[in-house]
């Protein structure tokens, strides 16, 4: 066991408007299994890069371990998976790697195939297994669940639970709960560390937020009451002072002692007014310390077009093959109004092909695919590479209302972001939010989303879950986040 010390860390990108981190200090134990969470664009990947020494910064980062970033950069995909593994961990022994792959339920034969021919899940398993075999390393694992199916996520989560000494960036709640013992969170105002899994962190955060909201409400009422009391005491003090200074001795009976009495009364009232003002100021300062880390998650809305028929799509006996390679066979299901269908299956089972076929793309198939006449579909792809230009250009290109588009982005934590900003400068999670915001703006009878939650933070996932369960739009989606799927779907289709 050793410590990673971060002291007065300050960093901003060249040309940036504000610091990503400012005088941040904390300690990490190298034996911890750290889940790293925070809203998109807060600087999680940036922090991992800073640990690696990729950027110049102010302050200090000290550690006795070597930081290794996952995914390992593969420069030549034609090399075998074993050769790539040896690049990632030159000192590994074959028997060790074989043992790790066995735990991950991956066949040894994949080590002798060109790395570029492996599935995303197989690549993840080979790289994780080899990188954990590197001596004196502390892994910085960035979004390993993207493109992993549910079974793959469960396997990798159990595997990570057997390890120690890593920081894991993931927004999959079930995945995190299965493998971490501490949470490192980038909040709105600070960075905090808490012992436990993600669910316990979230419960504690919700309790603290509720307490702070209640305290804030109580202090607001107290400040208002004290303000009124201070004004009242000040008014009475002024009145007593005027009595003291405005006395006409010829017209006042029993004049002896009157002036000192009024002076004492004025002084006492002034002291009370001052005490109340001090209490008021203390209450204001106490109130100002609250709510700094409250995450806003405003309610999202969706207004689908009403389709003229209860049935939108009918698929019967569908089979898809590429060349002589069958992908799946004999799939049948229907999409009716109000269906929130989760299309499930392992990686490579053809889920994306089904979505593309429904959206009118050229996919070779046999069987019957009936798409309702005049059906308007809004499609969100897995791929963000088509995003380019400014946010305002993107809205114009899709013919959506710019004001509505900006409003949805603001609700998805784009507050303060300039809408003339280049999309390529956004984080991957922010790019996915751009695509979802565009889809929510489009006039459509049916929404079709392909792995929409990749890279998207937990708070926003919960917003979208609530949107789907409250408004019950007709949607077909592929998603491997178990928590999201169980909450958002009312029907399941399995390949």
Q: What's the confidence (pLDDT) of residue 283?
A: 57
Q: Is the pLDDT of residue 274 over 80?
A: no
Task: Report how far residue 65's alpha carbon sits from residue 67's, in angstroms, rounded to the nearest whole number.
Answer: 6
Picking from 180, 218, 489, 169, the residue whose alpha carbon sits closest to that of residue 342 is 489
More confident position, 419 or 447: 447
Q: What's the confidence (pLDDT) of residue 148?
A: 87
Q: Is the pLDDT of residue 349 over 60?
A: yes
Task: Report how far residue 95's alpha carbon sits from residue 110's, in angstroms, rounded to the nearest whole number.
Answer: 15
CA atoms within 13 A of residue 441's CA, in its CB half-sphere: 22
Picking from 314, 319, 351, the residue whose alpha carbon sits closest to that of residue 333 is 314
307-345 pLDDT, tens digit per residue, is 999 999 999 999 999 888 899 999 999 999 999 999 999
Mean pLDDT of 112-140: 93
Local structure of 114: helix, strand or coil: strand
Task: Report how far residue 468's alpha carbon sits from residue 463's, in angstroms, rounded to the nearest whole number.
Answer: 9
Mean pLDDT of 45-51: 94
Task: Report how far residue 86's alpha carbon sits from residue 92's, in angstroms, rounded to the nearest whole number.
Answer: 7
Q: What's the confidence (pLDDT) of residue 218?
A: 77
Q: What's the confidence (pLDDT) of residue 365?
A: 94
Asked which of 68-82, 332-346, 402-416 is least confident by mean pLDDT, the reply is: 402-416
Dmax (CA) of the chain: 120
Mean pLDDT of 130-158: 92
Q: What's the confidence (pLDDT) of residue 224?
A: 76
Q: Is the pLDDT of residue 231 over 90?
A: no
Q: What are phi and psi of 359, to 5 degrees?
A: -85, 0
Picking from 345, 318, 355, 371, the residue whose alpha carbon sits closest to that of residue 449 is 355
More confident position, 445 or 220: 445
Query: Mean pLDDT of all residues in the chain?
Result: 87
Q: Does residue 398 have a cis bond before it (omega within 30 degrees)?
A: no
Q: Which residue has the tokens 């159990």?
A: 158
Q: What's the confidence (pLDDT) of residue 310?
A: 97
Q: What's the confidence (pLDDT) of residue 31?
A: 95
For residue 384, the tally of other CB atoms under 10 A from its CB is 19
Give the full edge-to-edge strand order of the sheet including 33-38: 66-70, 137-142, 166-169, 33-38, 182-186, 191-195
Distances (CA, A) of 408 to 63, 300, 302, 402: 42, 7, 10, 10
Residue 121, both tokens: 């899940």
The percentage of the chain sitting over the pLDDT mark of 90, rounded to a whole number, equals 64
112 DSSP assignment = G
Q: Which residue has the tokens 């999409």?
A: 335
Mean pLDDT of 280-306: 72
More confident position, 421 or 106: 106
Q: What are phi and psi of 152, to 5 degrees?
A: -60, -40
Q: What's the confidence (pLDDT) of residue 292?
A: 64
Helices 428-441 & 402-409, crossing angle to 10 degrees?
Answer: 140
464-474 pLDDT, tens digit per residue, is 999 999 999 99
The percentage of the chain sitting over the pLDDT mark of 70, rounded to a whole number, equals 84
Task: Report how far residue 329's alpha carbon sits from residue 382's, in angstroms, rounded to the nearest whole number.
Answer: 23
Q: Is the pLDDT of residue 237 over 80?
A: no
Q: Which of 171-175, 220-224, 230-234, 295-299 has the highest mean pLDDT?
A: 171-175
Q: What's the confidence (pLDDT) of residue 427?
A: 86
491-494/33-38 β-pairing:
unpaired
Q: Is the pLDDT of residue 254 over 80?
A: no
Strand (E) or helix (H) holding 330: strand 325-336
357-390 pLDDT, tens digit per residue, is 999 999 999 999 999 999 999 999 998 988 989 9
11-21 pLDDT, tens digit per residue, is 998 876 778 89
């Amino acid at each position: 066991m050793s410590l990673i010390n971060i002291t007065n860390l300050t960093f901003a990108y060249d040309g940036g408007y504000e610091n990503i981190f400012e005088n941040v200090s904390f300690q990490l134990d190298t034996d911890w299994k750290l889940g790293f969470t925070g809203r998109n664009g807060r600087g999680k990947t940036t922090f991992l890069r800073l640990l690696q020494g990729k950027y110049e910064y102010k302050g200090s980062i000290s550690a006795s371990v070597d930081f290794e970033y996952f995914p390992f950069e593969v420069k030549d995909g034609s090399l075998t998976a074993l050769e790539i593994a040896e690049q990632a961990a030159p000192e590994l022994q074959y028997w060790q790697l074989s043992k790790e792959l066995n735990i991950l339920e991956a066949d040894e034969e994949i080590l002798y195939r060109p790395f570029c021919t492996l599935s995303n899940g197989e690549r993840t398993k080979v790289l994780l297994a080899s990188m954990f075999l590197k001596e004196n390393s502390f892994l910085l694992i960035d979004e390993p669940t993207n493109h992993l199916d549910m079974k793959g996520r469960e396997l990798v989560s159990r595997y990570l639970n057997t390890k120690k000494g890593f920081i894991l960036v993931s927004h999959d709640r079930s995945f995190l709960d299965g493998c971490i013992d501490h949470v490192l969170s980038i909040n709105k105002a600070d960075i905090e560390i808490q012992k436990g899994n993600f669910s316990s962190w979230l419960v504690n955060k919700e309790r603290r937020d509720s307490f702070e909201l209640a305290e804030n409400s109580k202090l607001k009422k107290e400040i208002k009451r004290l303000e009124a009391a201070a004004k009242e005491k000040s008014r009475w003090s002024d009145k007593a002072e005027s009595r003291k200074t405005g006395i006409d001795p010829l017209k006042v009976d029993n004049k002896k002692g009157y002036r000192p009495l009024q002076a004492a009364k004025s002084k006492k009232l002034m002291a009370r007014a001052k005490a109340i003002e001090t209490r008021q100021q203390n209450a204001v300062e106490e109130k100002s310390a609250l709510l700094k880390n409250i995450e806003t998650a405003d309610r999202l809305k969706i207004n689908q077009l009403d389709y003229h028929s209860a049935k939108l799509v009918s698929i019967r006996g569908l089979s898809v093959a590429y060349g002589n390679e069958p992908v799946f066979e004999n799939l049948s299901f229907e999409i009716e109004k109000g269906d929130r269908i989760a299309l499930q299956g392992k990686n490579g089972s053809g889920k994306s092909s089904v979505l593309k076929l429904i959206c009118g793309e050229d996919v070779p198939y046999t069987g019957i695919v009936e798409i309702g006449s005049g059906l308007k579909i809004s499609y969100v792809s897995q791929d963000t590479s088509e995003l380019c230009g400014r946010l305002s250009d993107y809205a114009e290109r899709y013919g959506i209302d710019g004001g509505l588009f900006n409003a949805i982005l603001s609700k998805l934590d784009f507050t303060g972001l300039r809408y003339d900003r280049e999309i390529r400068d956004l984080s991957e999670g922010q790019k996915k939010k751009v695509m979802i915001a565009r889809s929510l703006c489009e006039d459509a009878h049916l929404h079709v989303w392909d792995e929409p939650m990749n890279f998207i933070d937990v708070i926003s996932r919960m917003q979208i879950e609530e949107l789907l369960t409250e408004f019950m739009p007709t949607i077909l989606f592929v998603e491997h986040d178990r928590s999201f799927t169980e909450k958002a779907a009312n029907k399941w289709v399995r390949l």
